[in-house]
Amino acid sequence: MTQLVFYTTSHCHLCEQAEVLLLSLKNQYELNWLTVEISNNDRLIEKYGLTIPVIKRSDTQTEINWPFTTNDIIKFISA
């Protein structure tokens, strides 16, 4: 199973769109993710505040920043 970290914040319509993409792939690609609310951490706000939503692979620590598509996520998790 591919483990991801999903950096997001509340009331972010782009984050909601990204989560829909992840949910659409969850079963087909055996994805699991931890959702991290960045607004609770100044360091995360500084790092991701302008680029959320961000998906990070737990195994490689690589990240993909918005904008991304379903196909971009598939390529990202398959690399």
Each residue of 52-71: pLDDT tens digit? 999 999 999 999 999 999 99
CATH placement of domain 2-78:
3.40.30.10
The pairing of strands 54-57 and 2-8 is antiparallel
The residues, ordered by sequence, that sit 6+ positions from 51 with a Cβ below 8 Å of its Cβ are: 65, 66
- Measured over the CA atoms of residue 1, residue 59, residue 77 and residue 25, the dihedral's sign is positive
Task: Answer for the pair 62, 10: CB distance below 8 angstroms, yes or no.
Answer: no
* Domain residue limits, the chain: 2-78
Each residue of 17-33: pLDDT tens digit? 999 999 999 999 999 99
Residue 61 confidence (pLDDT): 98
Find where tokens 């319509």 sit.
13
Task: Answer for the pair 30, 2: CB distance below 8 angstroms, yes or no.
Answer: yes
> What does pTM read for this prediction?
0.95
